[in-house]
Amino acid sequence: MTDRPLTLMAVHAHPDDEATGTGGVLARYAAEGVRTVLVTCTDGGCGDGPEGVKPGAPGHDPVAVTSMRRRELDASCEVLKISELETLDYADSGMMGWPSNDAPGSFWRTPVEEGAARLAELMRHYRPDVVVTYDENGFYGHPDHIQAHRITMAALEMTGLTPKVYWTTMPRSMMQRFGEVMREFGEEMPEPDPAEAAAMAEIGLPDDEITTWVDTTAFSGQKFDALAAHASQGENIFFLKMGRERFGELMGVETFLRVRDTTGAAVPENDLFAGLR
């Protein structure tokens, strides 16, 4: 036996991703005494600037945006009671197809082996029992999310560690529900072209393929506040428009696909640490 605490490591691409996909589990497990380690891979410099100035527009200063988003990330971590924050600080690559994808120092352009070696060092230090990141498509095709997936899986191979490994996902039934709620709140949803529609249809998983459903209802307020801490990106965070009460009703469960396990815990499961305690 060891006195080392159970440890959850979440590997995310940008400041604010920690709250969007895993804010509930980070808050819940911190409250249960689990050590929570957040690794944020990029500096978020392709996010909105003050007063909503968009990347590439006059007045958008990536250096200033990076500084602002780091302050917001620190505030989010405080809300979620995250034990340790580690930042790799690669340059934000922007959305797929943007010129910033190929800018010097961008995360997308960084060799996987380089990023993986840095992450492997952190894994050896923290020795996580559970690792959470994105699937091969970065959930919705963002280059930095895809790269975060790649370096995470490569780092696990480098270390030889055997934590339970999860990819964030969303049940298709909930994706449909989100579409209904967006229309309810007056969000404009232009008709996608056939290629976009096909790509959207591939986001998430059929409900019966999801292995892990974690109830985070009691922590939905913290998740909302963590998202709200990223105030500069509020225009891009639809969930904040719901208000706290409606947010809590819709965002009380976080779902994952378990892709590696040595515990033999049965699925579907309702605890990322099933079989470990």
SS (H, E, C) 19-75: HHHHHHHHHHHHHCCCEEEEEEEECCCCCCCHHHCCCCCCCCCHHHHHHHHHHHHHH
What 8-state DSSP symbol labels residue 190?
P
**pLDDT at site 186:** 63
59 CB-near residues (< 8 Å, 6+ apart): 49, 53
Weakest-pLDDT range from 172-176, 177-181, 258-262: 177-181
Query: Whole-number mean pLDDT of the chain?
Result: 90
What is d(CA 276, CA 256) in angstroms, rounded to the nearest whole number? 17
Work out the widest C-alpha separation in the chain, in whole angstroms: 58
Spatial separation of the C-alpha atoms in residues 10 and 40, rounded to whole Å: 8
- How far from 178 is each of 101, 108, 187, 247, CA to CA, in Å? 29, 29, 11, 11
Go through the domains of the chain in sequence order and give each one's CATH number.
7-169+210-260 (3.40.50.10320)
What is the rounded radius of gyration, in angstroms, for the C-alpha atoms of the chain? 18
pLDDT digits (tens, 9 = 90+) for 178-206: 666 666 666 555 555 555 545 555 688 99
Whole-prediction pTM = 0.91
pLDDT digits (tens, 9 = 90+) for 48-77: 988 788 988 998 999 999 999 999 999 999
Q: Would you give the DSSP letter of residue 97?
A: T
